[in-house]
Amino acid sequence: MMAQPPELFSSPQALLMYLLLFILLLLLLRYLACTTRSSRSHGRLPPSPPKLPFIGHLHLVGSHPHVSLAGLSEKHAADGLMLLHLGQVRNLVVSSTRAAEAVLRTHDHVFASRPHSLVVDVIFSGASDVAFAPYGEHWRQARKIITGHLLSAKKVASLCAAREEEARLVVAKLRQARGPVDLSGMLFAFSNDIVCRAMAGKFFRAEGRNDVFRELIHMNVAALGGFNLENCFPSLGNMSMLRRPVLGKLERLKKKWHDLLDQIIDEHAASNSSSLDQDQERDFVDALLSLQHDYDLTRENIKTILMEMFGAATDTSYVVIEYVLCELLRNPHLMTKLQAEVRGKTPSTQETVKEADLSSMPYLKAVIKETLRLHPPAPLLIPHMSIDKCDVNGYTIPAETRTLVNVWALCRDTRSWEYADEFMPERFMDAEAVDFKGRDFQFLPFGAGRRICPGINFGIATVEIMLANLLHCFDWELPDGMHKEDIDMTDVYGLTVRRKEKLFLTPKYVATCV
């Protein structure tokens, strides 16, 4: 008898299983073919770790992306360059001084744009702000306005009296404390009040508006720093059923901002039209209203710029002050050294430190720099986007490549820094020490090139005056039963990186005035 052929598909379920396997195999082969064609068309790409279909390298990035990317770069990067596919999106990771200089100086014009973001589009009305706006004429005009009328050295200096007064208010509150205080909350409020005072002048405290500003800033930080599906899977992020809930939340947040800002703008416009005092100090809202016709600014443009400026300096300034205090508490000998400088350089007739005294405090400035080195507020900066294909250190970088500059890795690179993981402010006491103004590519807490943070002077002035007064007026103690080894330095990644736990300390007032 002739042998019967074997039954390949003994049931409908088996047939379905084989069909699914066949389809998956075809999809995998198509994915590999597309990847190969893409690699050939782009030329010699930077190296990458092995990746998975669809999710790419997403599984390799943990809850602290700057740390994960630094570890991956050590294993897979060549000359500080590594290419990752996070979902469907191509990302260039920059993690060496030479690579950072190539991207942010040599090819700065190519990497000066920003990737598209649904969150930014909604909150900032089509990315018409400064930090997230794509490179172009609008961005140049908006940056010119804020640097000339809010963040210039002259304007920052003119706000000296306001910063000193706000610092005195904090000192007065702390003097009344009889136990541990929530210093994190107090520092956030101080930083926010400084920004609000510069932006809206006498109007910012009306009817508790400073509290409303703080709430809205927290909401902005959560929205901009949270996981955004379209950043990794644009095709899914564009699906209506997935976009609709996100859009609803963002539109409600935007409306809250606009309702508040419309009130402030209207009050400024009314005050300016009726005021006869032409010598009064103008705040940033006044400046924007006066520039409306020169720069063709719409009311929407003004609100977008204001919204970004209110939040930009608040979150970073208070985080830096808090990290400084934590590092000093963990290193009591450095706390003693810095307090001796601050108290020794402040005139004995003064109850608080004034900005004129800060120029004679080099160790204070060194401590702040060392804190920025170990704890950069934005460890991956705001992502850049290449607008054209270019060659970086022998590797081809395709156009529209999302670019992450890992300043956390640069600031802890043992090739640039001796004892890179230790808190050593003395390294910045040398007259030839590196600085954070974008010329030294091993130290870029504020970025470099066209997209360098324009608020460096404003932020550092806020940090210096508050920190000096905290150390001049008080000795600091940890809550009962807590030791310096118990200070938790675990951080939370977001738009900015901050400590996970709030900082509670007990202030002991020191009468330094005679």
pLDDT digits (tens, 9 = 90+) for 308-351: 888 777 888 999 999 999 999 999 999 999 999 999 999 999 99
- pLDDT confidence band for 7 (50 / 70 / 90): very low
pLDDT digits (tens, 9 = 90+) for 415-434: 999 999 999 999 999 878 89
Tokens 């006498």 correspond to 202
pLDDT of residue 276: 43
**Domain ranges, ordered by start, for the chain:** 40-509
* pLDDT higher than threshold 50 for residue 226: yes
Q: What share of the chain is helix, strand, coil (3-state, %, to 5)?
A: 55, 10, 35
Q: How far apart are CA 48 and CA 45, in angstroms?
A: 9
Q: What is the mean pLDDT of residues 211-218?
A: 86
266-287 per-residue burial string, b: 16 or more CB within 10 A, e: under 16 = ebbeeeeeeeeeeeeebbbbbb
- Range picked from 227-241, 245-259, 437-451 for highest mean pLDDT: 437-451
pLDDT of residue 5: 44
pLDDT of residue 9: 43
pLDDT > 70 in the chain, percent: 89
Q: What is the mean pLDDT of residues 79-106?
A: 97
* pLDDT higher than threshold 90 for residue 262: yes
- pLDDT confidence band for 218 (50 / 70 / 90): confident
- Contact between residue 363 and residue 429 where contact means Cβ atoms under 8 Å apart: yes
Q: How far apart are CA 347 and CA 357, in angstroms?
A: 8
> How would you classify the pairing of strands 402-405 and 89-94?
parallel
pLDDT of residue 8: 42
- pLDDT confidence band for 237 (50 / 70 / 90): low
* pLDDT higher than threshold 50 for residue 158: yes
113 beta partners: 385
Q: How far apart are CA 469 and CA 239, in angstroms?
A: 52
For every residue of 278-320, DSSP letters joined together read: TTSPP-HHHHHHHTTTTTT--HHHHHHHHHHHHHHHHHHHHHH
- On average, the pLDDT of the chain sits at 88
Record the tokens describing residue 93, joined without a space.
Answer: 């990771």
Sheet architecture: strand order including 474-477: 181-182, 504-509, 474-477
* pLDDT higher than threshold 50 for residue 499: yes
CATH superfamily of 40-509: Cytochrome P450 (1.10.630.10)
- pLDDT confidence band for 34 (50 / 70 / 90): low
Q: What is the mean pLDDT of residues 162-177?
A: 95
Angle, in degrees to the nearest 10, between helices 332-345 and 299-330 = 120
Distances (CA, A) of 456 to 42, 425, 435: 37, 19, 12
Of 496 and 127, the structure prediction assigns the larger pLDDT to 496
* pLDDT higher than threshold 70 for residue 15: no
pTM > 0.85: yes
Residue 453, marked binder: yes
pLDDT of residue 12: 56
- pLDDT confidence band for 125 (50 / 70 / 90): confident
Q: What is the mean pLDDT of residues 9-37?
A: 61
pLDDT of residue 208: 77
- Contact between residue 359 and residue 460 where contact means Cβ atoms under 8 Å apart: no
Q: What is the mean pLDDT of residues 346-368?
A: 96
- Contact between residue 155 and residue 149 where contact means Cβ atoms under 8 Å apart: yes
**Comparing 23-32, 56-65, 441-450, 496-505, which segment has the lowest mean pLDDT?**
23-32
- pLDDT confidence band for 2 (50 / 70 / 90): very low
Tokens 């300096």 correspond to 313
Q: What is the mean pLDDT of residues 357-383?
A: 97
* pLDDT higher than threshold 80 for residue 227: no
Of 283 and 98, the structure prediction assigns the larger pLDDT to 98
**Comparing 59-63, 108-112, 273-277, which segment has the lowest mean pLDDT?**
273-277
pLDDT digits (tens, 9 = 90+) for 423-474: 999 999 987 889 999 999 999 999 999 999 999 999 999 999 999 999 999 9
Of 241 and 244, the structure prediction assigns the larger pLDDT to 244
Q: How far apart are CA 365 and CA 431, in angstroms?
A: 12
pLDDT of residue 279: 44
